[in-house]
């Protein structure tokens, strides 16, 4: 969904997207899975891998169904599930050529996205920790990122700036942890480096910490307003907005932000079912006119329904001009 705000200037397009699954399309999970325990208990390895591949193909087909649902509703921004291929990075399946098994499904997914000018990306799980002091954790994190890179290449989508991660843990204190990330960065393959985006988190690393890393390593920063409210830095977020925009200067993609609302005062860090429209309008009023386009990823429990409700709620603001 693309909107255009501010009655006078009308300079910034705000495009809405949502995460991974639909509450409207039934029986369409892109994250069907199999545990390794189940895998081991199947009669033989060949049949177990065949079963994994069937699950992966079903996840791809369901992802394509979701893209068609998005197309029908003018949604061109979407986060794919990171669980498209179960056990793809498990060490016991290191010889499994999972890409070969789903090459046609991946190609269909990417072709549809390209034909309809959709922005697709990923947000790997929280255990992808690049500043870990444990070598095995860092190695597994890199393997997980390589998996996402291969999925994007399989879809024939340029992997540059398609994968959002958090800065990670704080073993030894924040200063040491940040410097450890910089040291570890040189051990990451360059194509994987180019794929990365970093967001501020809700407990440890606020936007000023993230900006320190992003500016040093030339990585775009994804600003998360909910995380800022839970874990503010020393400044109001809009005082750092110009710096955040500059991290996107060399990206082929528009600036990206995350939006969500707190579930309650007691569960402030948890995502609410829907988005508070006043909060969203206050946010984009400050961003309006600062850049040509901002893609807003809705992180809400009600997925696409949260996007539809926000769209409906925004109709009350006469300063909003709808492009589609």
Q: What is the pLDDT of residues 279-310, one digit of tens each?
A: 999 999 999 999 999 999 999 999 999 999 99
* Predicted pLDDT at 136: 95
**Is the pLDDT reported for residue 190 higher than 60?**
yes
Residues spanned by the domain of 219: 2-26+74-82+117-322
Q: Is residue 219 part of a domain?
A: yes
* Predicted pLDDT at 217: 97
Q: Is residue 43 part of a domain?
A: no
The kind and range of the H/E element at 259 are strand 255-259
Angle between helices 103-115 and 45-72 (to 10 degrees): 10
Task: Please list, residue by residue across 302-312, b when 16 or more beta carbons sit within 10 angstroms of its beta carbon and e when fewer do.
Answer: bbbbbbbbbbe
218-237 pLDDT per residue, tens: 999 999 999 999 999 888 99
Distance (Å, rounded) from C-alpha 178 to C-alpha 131? 7
CA atoms within 13 A on the CB side of 216: 14
Between CA 257 and CA 263, with CA 260 as vertex, the angle to 5 degrees is 160
Q: Is residue 87 part of a domain?
A: no
Contact 226, 242 (CB under 8 A): no
Which CA distances in Å does 302 have to 90, 177, 201, 298? 30, 35, 21, 10
Q: Is residue 100 part of a domain?
A: no
Q: Which of 59-63, 79-83, 120-124, 268-272 has the lowest mean pLDDT?
A: 268-272
* Predicted pLDDT at 25: 97
Alpha helix segments (H runs only) across the chain = 36-41, 45-72, 98-101, 103-115, 135-154, 174-185, 190-195, 207-217, 225-230, 237-247, 277-287, 303-314
Task: Give the three-class secondary structure for 313.
Answer: helix
Q: Is residue 167 part of a domain?
A: yes
**Is the pLDDT reported for residue 123 higher than 90?**
yes
Distance (Å, rounded) from C-alpha 260 to C-alpha 298? 6
* Predicted pLDDT at 82: 97
Which distant-in-sequence residues (6+ apart) come within 8 Å of 270 by Cβ? 262, 263, 264
Distance (Å, rounded) from C-alpha 124 to C-alpha 55? 19
Distance (Å, rounded) from C-alpha 105 to C-alpha 296? 27
Long-range Cβ contacts of 261-269 (<8 Å, 24+ apart)? 261/226, 261/300, 262/226, 262/229, 262/230, 268/229, 268/230, 269/202, 269/203, 269/230
Which distant-in-sequence residues (6+ apart) come within 8 Å of 157 by Cβ? 110, 113, 114, 120
199 band by pLDDT with thresholds 50, 70 and 90: very high
Task: Give the three-class secondary structure for 281.
Answer: helix
Q: Is residue 68 part of a domain?
A: no
Task: Give the three-class secondary structure for 291.
Answer: coil
Q: What DSSP character marks residue 94?
A: T
**CATH code for the domain of 278:** 3.20.20.150
The mean pLDDT of the chain is 94
**Is the pLDDT reported for residue 4 higher than 90?**
no
Q: Which of 12-16, 39-43, 190-194 has the lowest mean pLDDT?
A: 39-43
Integer-rounded Cα Rg, in Å, for the chain is: 20
Q: What DSSP character marks residue 197?
A: E
318 band by pLDDT with thresholds 50, 70 and 90: confident
Q: Is residue 38 part of a domain?
A: no
Nearest CA-CA partner of 192 in 155, 156, 151, 223: 151
Determine the distance from the C-alpha atom of residue 114 to the mean position of all C-alpha atoms in its chain, rounded to a whole number.
Answer: 18
**Is the pLDDT reported for residue 1 higher than 60?**
no
63-80 pLDDT per residue, tens: 999 999 999 999 999 999
Contact 207, 233 (CB under 8 A): yes
Count of the separate structural domains present in the chain:
1
Nearest CA-CA partner of 244 in 278, 219, 279: 219
Distance (Å, rounded) from C-alpha 40 to C-alpha 29? 24
Encode 69-87 in three state secondary structure: HHHHCCCCEEECCCCCCCC
Q: Is residue 185 part of a domain?
A: yes
């Amino acid at each position: 969904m693309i909107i255009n705000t501010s009655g006078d200037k009308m300079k910034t397009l705000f495009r809405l997207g949502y995460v991974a699954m639909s509450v409207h399309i039934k029986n369409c999970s892109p994250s069907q899975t199999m545990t390794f325990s189940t895998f081991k208990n199947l009669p033989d390895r060949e049949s177990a891998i065949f079963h994994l591949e069937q699950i992966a193909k079903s996840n791809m087909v369901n992802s394509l169904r979701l893209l068609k649902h998005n197309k029908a509703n003018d949604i061109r921004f979407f986060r794919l599930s990171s669980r498209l291929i179960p056990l793809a990075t498990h060490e016991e399946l290191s010889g499994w050529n999972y890409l070969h098994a789903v090459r046609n499904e991946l190609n269909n997914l990417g072709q549809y996205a390209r034909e309809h000018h959709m922005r697709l990306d990923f947000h790997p799980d929280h255990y992808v920790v690049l500043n870990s002091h444990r070598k095995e954790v860092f190695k597994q994190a890199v393997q997980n990122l390589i998996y996402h890179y291969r999925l994007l290449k399989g879809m024939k989508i340029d992997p540059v700036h398609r994968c959002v991660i958090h800065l990670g843990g704080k073993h030894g204190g924040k200063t040491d942890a940040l410097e450890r990330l910089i040291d570890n960065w040189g051990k990451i393959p360059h194509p994987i480096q180019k794929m990365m985006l970093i967001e501020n988190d809700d407990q440890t690393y606020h936007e000023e910490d993230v900006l320190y890393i992003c500016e040093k390593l030339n990585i775009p920063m994804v600003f998360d307003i909910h995380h800022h409210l839970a874990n503010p830095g020393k400044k109001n977020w809009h005082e750092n907005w110009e710096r955040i925009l500059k991290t996107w200067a060399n990206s082929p993609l528009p600036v990206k932000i995350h939006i969500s609302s707190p579930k309650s005062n007691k569960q402030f860090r948890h995502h609410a079912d829907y988005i508070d429209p006043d909060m969203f309008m206050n946010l984009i009023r400050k961003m309006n006119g600062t850049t040509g386009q901002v893609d807003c990823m809705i992180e809400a429990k009600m997925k696409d329904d949260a996007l539809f409700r926000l769209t409906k709620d925004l109709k009350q603001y006469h300063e909003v001009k709808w492009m589609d």
